[in-house]
Structure 1
Amino acid sequence: MPPLEHGHSTDEIRRRLAGGPRSSYLRDWIYGGIDGAVTTFAVVAGVAGAELPMQVVLILGGANLVADGFSMAASNFSGTKAERDDYDRLAAVERRHVALVPEGEREEIRQIFAAKGFSGAGLERIVATITSDEPGWIRTMLAEEYGLSASPRSPRMAAAATFAAFLICGAMPLLPYAFGGGLGASALATAVTFFAIGSTKSRWSLIPWWRSGLETVAVGLAAAALAYLVGFGLGSLFGIAVP
């Protein structure tokens, strides 16, 4: 039997729960990393498909790396902030309802936990316990009525995670060109990056690491191949070639 992920002694449980639930920024890292590698290599492949000089690859790839990475981080910041603002808005709504119609809010708690199978004196004790602490009461309503997380994510942390992952992974397709390599070396570096991202994220899933890595490689290289074909086609159409 594999080892358990954490201990279950009284002290271990107390220490683990003391800090409360933690926000996860895994999605932001994976999203930024994959998109950084995909879009940068798509630019590299598109320029190479048009048979433009190496300097153009580095200029356009570098510009995309910074501009698109910042754009993604800004978009993630705005989206995550909108989620946080909505959490605060709903918390204010529940706080006002608790102040104005407390019995109605108690009845909501009662029905929520009755639907979970509690009844009788046990149900009433739950209602009394939860509604005796207003912050806990509101957090319970946000989780049970609206399905919101108990730990809203930080917009700054989400944006920073996306931007950092985008820059790190997006730089990989450009490195071979910086050292005199070509499209083949860039494709290999990008494939390795995709595989590293996929195999790493398998730690948080039940998919085998090799399968997760190969799936990520397939998705990323499909996007890159499409960009290469578009670049090659447009280059042929306009007669662009290396001098």
Structure 2
Amino acid sequence: MARSKREALQEHHRPEAIRRRLETPERPHSMPDAILGGIDGCVTTFAVVSGAFGAGFSARVALVLGFANLLADGFSMAISNYEAVQAQREGVERAREREFEHIELVPEGEREEIRQIYARKGLSGELLEQVVETISRDREVWVETMLTEEHGLQRGGLSPWRSAWVTFLAFLVVGAMPLLPYALPGLAARDRFWASLAIAALMFLSIGMLKSLVYRRPVWQSGLRTLSMGAAAAGLAFLTGVLAQALFGVSL
């Protein structure tokens, strides 16, 4: 097992493989957006279901409220994620423009920044000066180096539209799951709620476990952590519904 993994890594780190990997533009990462949309969608709709059950609302009211919140909150979530990623991209571009301006106005100061950055990495003497000279010879390389090393910024992997669509679709698909029992005829109110609870718990657990597989974290720990966060949101919504019913008599 260890040997096969070592062989795969050796193949992945051959000069031609490294060259292809470095020359390929970084693709946008969709998994964080899908996880964000899925968790928020499930929390949103099951919170509505829990609040409606706690307040004594009918299944039809819970279904209408659930789908209304699903679409409205999903759209709002997608727009918010779009704006966040777009702002991040604009921040990178502004930093890039500033670095080009600094290179134009104070090139020696920018070379000194490169010098100190690589001195902190252990380079010194003639080798350090060669590195500084090589990087500062090409302004594109110079600016990209400053973005990464000084500001900790990356230009690749940022797509506002992709992030928005992935968030919206994950929100809709996962968020619709707890509403399914309320769309089925012939079930008692308590049975609908418990079925919705079981589906929501399964969604939270599955998202957490999927996240752990992608990011190589303990599977059950991640799944139970996501499940506990969803349970806390649902419990708060349920208590709010019970309190509203007791204080204002909002039951149907």
* Structure 1 and Structure 2 fold alike (TM over 0.5): yes
1:118 match: secondary structure: coil
| Bigger mean CA deviation after superposition, 156-165 or 110-119 | 156-165
Aligned to 1:120: 125
Aligned to 1:26: 31
How many residues are paired up?
242
- 1:45 Cα offset (Å): 0.7
1:173 match: secondary structure: helix
2:178 match: secondary structure: coil
Cα separation, 2, equivalents of 1:145 and 1:133: 17
Aligned with 2:235 (options 220, 225, 237): 225
1:146 match: secondary structure: coil
Cα separation, 1, equivalents of 2:144 and 2:184: 54
**Matching of residues 1-243 of structure 1 within 5 Å:** 1-2=1-2, 3=5, 6=9, 7-151=12-156, 153-180=158-185, 181=187, 182-242=192-252
The verdict on how the C-alpha distance between 1:145 and 1:46 changes in structure 2, with shifts beyond 3 A counting, is: same
Q: Which runs of no fewer than 5 residues in structure 2 stay unpaired?
A: none
What is the aligned-residue identity percentage? Answer: 50
- 1:150 Cα offset (Å): 4.0
The verdict on how the C-alpha distance between 1:152 and 1:20 changes in structure 2, with shifts beyond 3 A counting, is: closer
Cα separation, 1, equivalents of 2:116 and 2:211: 39
Please report the TM-score for the alignment, with normalisation by the length of structure 2: 0.90
- 1:143-176: CA deviation from partner (whole Å, max 9, x where unpaired): 1111112425111112112111111111111111
Runs of 4+, deviation exceeding 6 Å: none
2:195 match: secondary structure: helix
- 1:235 Cα offset (Å): 1.3
Which structure's residues are more often helix, by fraction?
A: 2
- 1:206 Cα offset (Å): 4.1
Cα separation, 2, equivalents of 1:33 and 1:142: 32
Cα separation, 2, equivalents of 1:191 and 1:23: 29
Cα separation, 2, equivalents of 1:8 and 1:152: 22
Q: CA RMSD in A?
A: 1.7
Please report the TM-score for the alignment, with normalisation by the length of structure 1: 0.93
